[in-house]
Chains A and B, each alone.
Chain A
């Protein structure tokens, strides 16, 4: 009997150990193949330096665009009840489940030379595919849902009576948004932004289809790994190590931030509530 009772907890531990080993092993492999010194060395190489600059620049610009357009969109979806709201929320979340390759081909079909808006853009002398703008668009397309979903949930969690109180104290809608809703949702917005940033930094599929992989122009860190791993495996590994460090730091910052504002023990929920009332 005692043995049978011990089976279940034992099973849990074994499964957890296998999961842990499976997740940890590739990370350990990267850092055993590339000692930290080599990694720092490789950062000086042209390919890595270019990719780092392209990645940071495009991800930051995409991030700014996500915050600028995503925040008002999320506030609208969180505070207004209208027909088609559920559809709108689904649309905003769609890129999350869409294969990145589909996102890439879709962007090409819309903004490419022969795309939906291609001739219009060409008339204005604008060409988007295979430029840095294309990288920014691919990243924004794929990463935005992570921010917008979290932002919707955060705005919905703001106590309606505080918003009402602000209005009766003479503040209009804009002032109420800036001084009540935004500060009270800021914790959730920051964690959503961190997740979107991490996702944007790792963007691969949509970028390679829509922007290509040209060193110094559209070649981001993940694209550089792919470009280098056949000829210079060590370089690819070094970039991999770099991305692991950046991602881990981001996650850590996020956890500390969350631990500071609330006591949630896991990463923030990824699904915005779809309350309709």
Chain B
């Protein structure tokens, strides 16, 4: 089994990208805001960008080593890079695009990615999903030992995306290749990858399974990225608990220890919505009016003040939720996490 090992520094415009990463036959997703240097990581591994220092190795092959002055050109590195906009050659048919990387497995790949009937078409007439499959087939035709995917879903519309994402997940699983993908969407990363690395300002701030990132985010940025509410306030001890006074005066309680400036992390699905304050075990009740309702599949995202809660569409109907309705958002002290806000969020 090949292990891809990356330890590089790449100077970018406003900061340096510094990354250390190892992966075997698993998929790692790098998530972060645009401009954080995620794509640069893939380009450096492919040999299109030259790091200022460090090493890139696959098994016992050295692709880049600044101290040995080794820097293999892209054509000598067995990678399959799928570009963000797919970069299909517009003057070649689908078949010739795929065979550009290698001629042996063309028919097999055309079949496998269900593009055999498009073999004689030019890329210009294809849909987003079809283009992506062609780009994947082309990258795989080379027989790569590492697969790199740059924002594989961003060029697709929301409807196509869900299907393509499920297909891609299956494909990545079957391939048993070290795969590295870059996305700005945590949900995509969580679906596609075994491990997710969060990159902010050129640094890997946390690398873990998606579940671990959700349950114990290393910092406020990771918490927000994974979809959690993040409410800022000042914490002090209150018996066994921490009492947090939010900037708008709301009082919250957490079982997490905390003191001073903190961010309270609470996930939307931990919050229940009711018409009046319930007599339950939850310590936290925030009253307010509904400012927006967004339906996502069978769930409704309800905005109450600065909190986002999620309920089933059924519950939302039963409660008669509408914009402007007065509601109470409740959640348990045990469902909250406190993050110290020493640095900028």
Using CB atoms and an 8 Å cutoff, list the residues of chain A in contact with chain B.
Answer: 159, 161-162, 164-172, 179-180, 183-184
Contacts and interface: CB of A to CB of B under 8 A. Distances in A.
B73 A172 contact: yes
Given A162-B90, A168-B46, 15 more contacts: A159-B87, A161-B87, A164-B48, A164-B74, A164-B81, A164-B87, A165-B87, A165-B89, A168-B80, A169-B139, A169-B141, A170-B75, A170-B102, A179-B100, A180-B89
A171 B75 CA distance: 6
A177 to B, nearest CB: 13
A167 B83 contact: no
What 10 A-B pairs have minimum CB-CB distances, sorted nearest first?
A167-B74, A169-B101, A165-B87, A161-B87, A168-B81, A170-B75, A168-B74, A168-B46, A172-B75, A183-B91
Contacts of A167: 47-48, 73-75
Contacts of B81: 164-165, 168
B107 interface: no
A171 B100 contact: yes
Nearest to A162: B87
Contact of A168 (B79, B85, B89, B91): B79
Contacts of A171: 75, 100
A170 B89 contact: no
B236 to A, nearest CB: 53
Contacts of A165: 81, 83, 87, 89
B126 to A, nearest CB: 16
Contacts of A164: 43, 46, 48, 74, 81, 83, 87
Interface string B76-88: 0101110101010
Contacts of B48: 164, 167-168
B145 interface: no
Nearest to A186: B91
Q: Give the one of A164, A165, A167, A170 with max B CB within 10 A.
A: A165
A184 B91 contact: yes
Nearest to A175: B75
Interface string B268-298: 0000000000000000000000000000000
A184 B87 CA distance: 13
